[in-house]
Structure 1
Amino acid sequence: MEKTRRHLSGLGFALLAAVINGSVGVFITLSARMALESSAIAFYKCFLAVVILAIFLWANATLRQSIRNVFRSPILAAAGFFGVFVMNSFEVRAYRLESVATVVLMFLAGATVATQGLTIFMLSQRMTVGRAIAIGLCSAGVFLLMPKYLSFSAAAGCLLGAIAGVGYGTYMVIAQRFALKARLEDIFGMMVWGTIFLLPEYIVGGARIPSFDAWGMLIWLAMFPTILGYFLTTAAVTRIGASKVQLLELSEPLFAALMAWYFLNELLSSGQIMGGLAIVLASYAGDVIDKLVPGTHRQRRPSWRGSR
């Protein structure tokens, strides 16, 4: 009974994360329209998350210990680098160059390939037929997403979105491999490291202070997609694993496309819809095929060990 409850809660957390993360592109695009640089948006959404989390930790009398733990954990540093710095830095820039729905799909393609590939190395799992098909479908989806005459900015936006997805997929595997928990302390540590990594490019970009109107968007990005998004994703990963979470979060493009249509009047072409379907089917098909093929879930003997 406890195992079933834990599994169902993991499914729910993953779906909620997909809904919340689907709003990221819209609010980043709206923030950019307020003359905010990409480096400033990425930095402040994470910096504000650190401040908000610090207030909660201070209220619980655990702030001092949490700060000490941040700089003692290379795992939190790695999670902050891939899951905060890489994801936010590249994702924010991608939304300036390409439509929200396309960036989200490229993001998921990168996350799918990274998750399927890294689970082989970091979680000692076998390369299966399902994983190979998932990667192949992602590649086909990326090809279909590209318009016939691709401009430099559109290509750059797609590439940046995919790199952001690789960072996110890497973070999910790290969270599973080293059993990161959905605690305020761990999310605070990730945000601190991510903010530190984002600081140099914010300074180089001019270190501009946001206008009064932009703070509302940044606070929304800090509280919901950032803090709550990481909490839900980490909670889901520890319950059902990185691959299943990545599968369930493939519903994110639907929410992102609906929000982009409503708030930004953005629409997908027929080719992009076909490419999106291929990417969304990638992990689903891989999971189904692996269940049908005997012996694909057996793990290799771990070749290395690690701990927090």
Structure 2
Amino acid sequence: MFEILRKRSHAIGILCAVLAAIINSSIGILNEFAFSKGVKYQDVAFYKTLIAFIIITLYLVISQQFRAQVFYLRKRVKELLILSFTGVFCLYFFETWAFSESNIPLTAFMIYAPGIITVILSVVFLKERATLKMLFSVCMVFVGCYLLVAGNVVPVYGEGILYAFIGGLGYGFFIFLSKIFKIEYAFAALWWCFLFGSILLFIPYYYLNDYKVIFFPLNSMIYIVLLAAFPTILGFLLTMYAVRHAPASYVQILETSDPLFASVAAYIIFSQTLSNISLHGSALILIGLFILSFSKKNKELKNVNDF
């Protein structure tokens, strides 16, 4: 019975991580649409977080159970502040900055490149077993992502790569720390994360706008709202669920499929084609994810409680 529960928990974690990757792959495209309307990167990062916080707060008003969960988490405020700094401020600010300086596939890849740190930290501190299949999957996914980007003959954007790497580093630490802290009630935790995230992101927003409050153009509202509702709220929530149902290293590896989905979306929306090298990279990513997802090495998986 417990073995079935462990397998089911593993499957839920995999599903949540993959869905998060699909949803997060829309970030670059939505950012580009917002930039085309004249919105600056610091404005996008701040307003999408603030709108996400407002949306969740509206639910807080109508749900007594949700209010109780949010109030209960006040005792975890220090851990939530750390998670907000790594997973909201570092990720959203530097990720959005990177998209404004570089192109979608290269930025998407570089955001997940530091994910190898999550795998290392998980193996060292969380005692997650580094199986040969896991190591092989890591190699397949990262080589595949590299080929996916290299095959598009993308020029190197120094600053964009640096900002994406910093954002990805924060995201990697967020996944690792989420596993360490084991915060209860993922949706209620989002309220706290977006509260602190909005406050933290207001600092560079206010500074970079010459100490003025700048409102985004109305014709860009749809893109900011979509960023807030899908990758910001839903993608964030799915990631938090994933790390509760599967090892943090698995979640990080699975979510590196983001560049693949981003490239597919770019092809559908912008008619961008993939070269043969990029297609080979996509195949490597899929193979790596398949091997990881269907690995029978479940001994290292821990049974966790549902939210």
Shorter-chain TM-score category? 0.7 to 0.9
Q: Which residue of 1 aligns with 2:21?
A: 18
Task: Name the CA shift for 1:157/1:274 in 2 (closer, same or farther; >3 Å).
Answer: farther
In structure 2, distance between residues paired with 1:5 and 1:76 = 28
Q: Which residue of 2 aligns with 1:220?
A: 226
Are the aligned partners of 2:95 and 2:167 in contact in 1 as well (CA < 8 Å)?
yes
In structure 1, distance between residues paired with 2:183 and 2:264 = 32
Aligned partner letter, 1:73: V
1:83 partnered with 2:76: no
Alignment of 1:130-149 (within 5 A): 145=149
Question: Which of 184, 188, 194 is the matching residue for 2:187?
Answer: 184
**1:244 positional shift:** 1.8
Q: Which residue of 1 aligns with 2:109?
A: 105
Stretch of structure 1 that moved more, 273-282 or 157-166: 273-282
**1:70 positional shift:** 4.9
Q: Which residue of 1 aligns with 2:32?
A: 29
Alignment of 1:183-262 (within 5 A): 183-206=186-209, 207-262=213-268
Point out where structure 1 has 5 or more consecutive residues left out of the alignment: 292-296, 300-308
In structure 1, distance between residues paired with 2:87 and 2:235 = 11
Task: Name the CA shift for 1:91/1:276 in 2 (closer, same or farther; >3 Å).
Answer: farther
Point out where structure 2 has 5 or more consecutive residues left out of the alignment: 302-307
**TM-score, with structure 2 as normaliser:** 0.80
Task: Name the CA shift for 1:43/1:122 in 2 (closer, same or farther; >3 Å).
Answer: farther
Q: Helix, strand or coil for the counterpart of 1:221?
A: helix
**1:182 positional shift:** 5.0
Are the aligned partners of 1:115 and 1:242 in contact in 2 as well (CA < 8 Å)?
yes
Question: Which of 39, 49, 53 is the matching residue for 1:50?
Answer: 53
Task: Name the CA shift for 1:198/1:122 in 2 (closer, same or farther; >3 Å).
Answer: farther
Aligned partner letter, 1:87: L
1:17-62 CA-to-partner distances (Å, cap 9, x unmatched) read 1221111111111111111110000111111111111111121135
In structure 1, distance between residues paired with 2:159 and 2:284 = 21
Stretch of structure 1 that moved more, 244-253 or 92-101: 244-253
Q: Which residue of 2 aligns with 1:166?
A: 169
Q: Helix, strand or coil for the counterpart of 1:234?
A: helix
Aligned partner letter, 2:100: R
Task: Name the CA shift for 1:203/1:36 in 2 (closer, same or farther; >3 Å).
Answer: same
Q: Give aligned-pair identity as a percent.
A: 27
